[in-house]
Each structure stands twice: as structure tokens, then as C-alpha cells.
Amino acid sequence: MTRNAAIVGGGTSEWGERDATWKDLAQEAGKATFDDVPDLAPGDVEGLFVGAVQPERFAFQSHVAPVVAELLGIDASMISRTELACASGQAALRYAWLAIAAGQLDIALVIGVEKMNLGTEYMPEMQSNMTNVLDREFDGVNGLNGPSHFAQFAQRHMHEHGTTREQLAMVSAKNKRHAAETDFAQYQQKVDVDDVLDSYPIAPPLNLLDCSGITDGATGLLLVSDEKARELTDTAAYITGSGQSCLSSNSINNLPSLTTWPQAGEASRKAYDQAGIEDPLDEIDVAEVHDCFSISEIIEYEQLGFAEEGKGGQFVEDGRSQLDGDVAVNPRGGLLGCGHPLGATGVNQALEIYRQFAGDVPDARAVPDSPETGLIHNLSGSGSVHSVMTLARDPQ
């Protein structure tokens, strides 16, 4: 049995450096989600899928899916916590979609939660926790972390393809401009290219404003069967395709390249094939991609089929990823603007696509001409795994 599944609403907590606990964040997002879909209540939920990366270290709590179920009053017949580093939220959404498509569930709640800020006195522990998503024994202990790793990609991309420091800054300036119109975002201050270039150097050529933040936040989605979606709303977002790729390259010495991610290309091809997409640049209206660092978005343009390899920098410089460009990329502000609470990011990206379809975003960051198709993308770990999902207003 194979059925369509659709997002019919969702909600989010405020993102940033919060005094709230992990449980508080889960409850905030859960309440906001059910407030957004008043015809569904916790008692209607049959499946619960929680994306969370390191609650054991950040919140000293494991077995978190039953914790969320108890907090929100859910008696689920299917329950799970997913962990895939920065793609944990999209993984949770994918499993909920598959369960509905298989006829196991009609209504599922997907929620991503991360509590990452422990206070400035615990900054060494926070940074140490982050290296866990790399191969800690071989890469983490040798000083490799997010900024230094992605700086290697930026340096090599600039060397091989002529990508400029200004093009990197254009990504950040664009996304932070969008985040200034996003009410829950961690960073809501507009910056220009010069501000990015003048910000504190972190790992050359990446400066502070080229890097996403350490973020507390949570987001929930309600996913239902096609039949149920038609009962609930006229503005659902149907999942049309999903792809994932891991090329046995978790350690940096096994990565196939330092200028590109063939895993992203393979994952997107799988999703496009399933969705019947032949020309993503022409057929995708809005995309939420994993801009954990400014170089990431440039490489993703290339691997997702928006730009030729090596031309991602020119793609942003030419304005082709602006709201009125060929494909609107990261209209909510991306990770650079909204922040990156690891387990919540993929869930929030999907919520943004749903809201763009529904026209439920501020005019200043609304994609023109009522978008019909969307995409979310996450990379995880060292970039060894990439996940892509396509969505549409109407089912196939």
C-alpha cells in the first residue's frame, strides 16, 4: 500500500540563546504546532518522530521520544527518536512520511528539538560536543571542527574555481536579510557584504558572519495521509520525493573531494526521479538548503542542479538565488540567519516550504507568484551524508 502524505501545519519555538530547557523547547513547539492545526489534538496523533542529536550531552537526557510523548499528551502506536547529526530532523520527517505511505499511520507528529547553549562558562564543553558529529577519534582530536573543516572547502573551491570572498559574503548577506523578516530567527539584523567581510576572522576565508550559530530551538510538523489532508486544509504541502546518499567517507581523509559533495548530487537525483523532476532549476520554485557556512550554499547550488560545477559563486553574484531569481534559496534566512539547532533545522525547513505554499510569510520574504514546488536539503557530519526532500502543493 502506497499513499501520499502531506504537511498540514506546524509551529516553532523562538530560536536563539534561550534560558529554556530541552523540555521547555519541546513543549513550546508542540503547543505552537497544535495551535496551528486546531482540528487536530494530541489525542489524534498515532505516530511520534523526534529528531534530536545530542540531548545526552547537552541536556543529560536520553530516550527522549517518550519524554516528548508524555509532555504533549500523546499515546502513540509508533514512536522513535532519529539521530543523523544535522539531518536528524529531515530523517524524522522521512520516517513519518514512509510510515504514512505504507499505511501504518494516518496522523504523525514530527518534532525536532535541540538545546545547545549551556552558558559561556561551558563553552569548551559545547565546542567539544560539536566535534562528536565528526570522527572524534581521528578528526576531532586533531582540532578539526565545523569552521576549520568548511574553510578547507572554501579555500579549495576558491583555488580551483575562482570563487571570491565577496561571493561567499553575498550568501550570508542575502540570508541574514531574509532572517530579519523571520520572527523566531536567532539573528534578525540586516547586514551587507562589507559587514560580512569586516566581521571577525574565524577560519580563513570564513569570518564570523559566514558561520551559523549555536542555537536552542524546536519545531513541530503535523503530517497526515492524503485523505486526511483534504479534510483539513486546502494548503497542504505534499512530499513528492526523498533521497539520501552516504559514500563511505565519514573521515575527512576518505572524502572524495574538497570542492564538492557528490553525495548531494546523488541524493537530489533520487528525489528528483521520484518526484518526476527533470530540470530542477526550472521546476523548483523555492529551496531551503543547508547553509551552515556560506561556502556550503555555493557548493549546494552546483550539486542540486541549480548551477554548473564551479559556478555557484557566480550564481549568487548574478542574483539567481534571490527571492525573484531562478530559484528562491533560503527565504526564511537559512542556518546563517535563523541559527542551527541541529535536530530542529530540517523540520523547520519543511515548515517554511509549507508556509510559502500557504502564503503565510511576511511579504518582504515571500517568494513571488505563489510557489508550487519546493526542496529541503541537509548535510550531516563532515558532509559525508546528504538528504534531499521535494514537496509540492498538489500530490502527484
| pLDDT at 373 (0 to 100) | 98
Mean pLDDT over 50-72 rounds to 96
Q: Among 161, 178, 340, 386, which one carries the catalytic annotation?
A: 340
Mean pLDDT over 249-262 rounds to 85
Domain assignment present for residue 303? The answer is no
Mean pLDDT over 302-313 rounds to 98
In terms of Cα–Cα distance, which of 78, 91, 86, 11 is closest to 45?
78
Which residue is it, cell 513547539? 29
pLDDT in tens, 163-181: 999 999 999 999 999 999 9
- Maximum pairwise Cα distance, the chain: 56
Does residue 396 register a pLDDT over 80?
no
| pLDDT at 308 (0 to 100) | 98
pLDDT in tens, 378-388: 999 888 899 99
Domain with 32 in it: 5-119+214-232
pLDDT band at 302 (very low <50, low <70, confident <90, very high): very high
Burial of 251 (0-12, 13-18, 19+ CB in 10 A): middle
DSSP 306: S
User: Distance between CA atoms of 188 and 178, rounded to whole angstroms?
Assistant: 8
Provide the grid cell at 253.
581523509
Does residue 129 register a pLDDT over 80?
no
Mean pLDDT over 178-194 rounds to 97
290 contacts 86 by C-beta, under 8 angstroms: yes
| pLDDT at 256 (0 to 100) | 84
User: Distance between CA atoms of 356 and 331, rounded to whole angstroms?
Assistant: 9
Q: How many DSSP H helices and E strands does the chain contain?
A: 15, 12
Does residue 152 register a pLDDT over 80?
yes
Domain assignment present for residue 240? The answer is no
Provide the grid cell at 246.
552516504
| pLDDT at 131 (0 to 100) | 74
The total number of structural domains that make up the chain:
1
Domain assignment present for residue 112? The answer is yes
Q: Is 338 designated active site?
A: no
Q: List CB contacts of 123: < 8 A, sequence separation 6 or more.
A: none
User: Distance between CA atoms of 71 and 30, rounded to whole angstroms?
Assistant: 9
Q: Among 86, 211, 292, 338, which one carries the catalytic annotation?
A: 86
In terms of Cα–Cα distance, which of 298, 222, 203 is closest to 260?
298
Q: Residue 44, Cβ neighbours under 10 Å: how many? A: 16
Cis peptide bond prior to 147, omega within 30° of 0: no
User: Distance between CA atoms of 393 and 324, rounded to whole angstroms?
Assistant: 19
**Percent of the chain surpassing pLDDT 70:** 99
User: Distance between CA atoms of 337 and 353, rounded to whole angstroms?
Assistant: 16
pLDDT band at 263 (very low <50, low <70, confident <90, very high): very high
Domain assignment present for residue 134? The answer is no
Q: Is 340 designated active site?
A: yes
Mean pLDDT over 20-42 rounds to 98
Q: What is the mean pLDDT of the chain?
A: 95
Does residue 107 register a pLDDT over 90?
yes
Of 22-36, 120-134, 250-264, the range with the lowest mean pLDDT is: 120-134
User: Distance between CA atoms of 198 and 179, rounded to whole angstroms?
Assistant: 20
Domain assignment present for residue 250? The answer is no
Mean pLDDT over 118-127 rounds to 76
93 contacts 192 by C-beta, under 8 angstroms: no
Domain assignment present for residue 386? The answer is no
pLDDT in tens, 191-218: 999 999 999 999 999 999 999 999 999 9
Domain assignment present for residue 381? The answer is no
Does residue 128 register a pLDDT over 80?
no
pLDDT band at 1 (very low <50, low <70, confident <90, very high): low
User: Distance between CA atoms of 221 and 65, rounded to whole angstroms?
Assistant: 15
Provide the grid cell at 93.
520527517
pLDDT band at 291 (very low <50, low <70, confident <90, very high): very high
| pLDDT at 27 (0 to 100) | 98
Which residue is it, cell 485523505? 227
**Percent of the chain surpassing pLDDT 90:** 88
Domain assignment present for residue 360? The answer is no
Sign of CA dihedral 48, 51, 56, 60: negative
CATH code, 46: 3.40.47.10
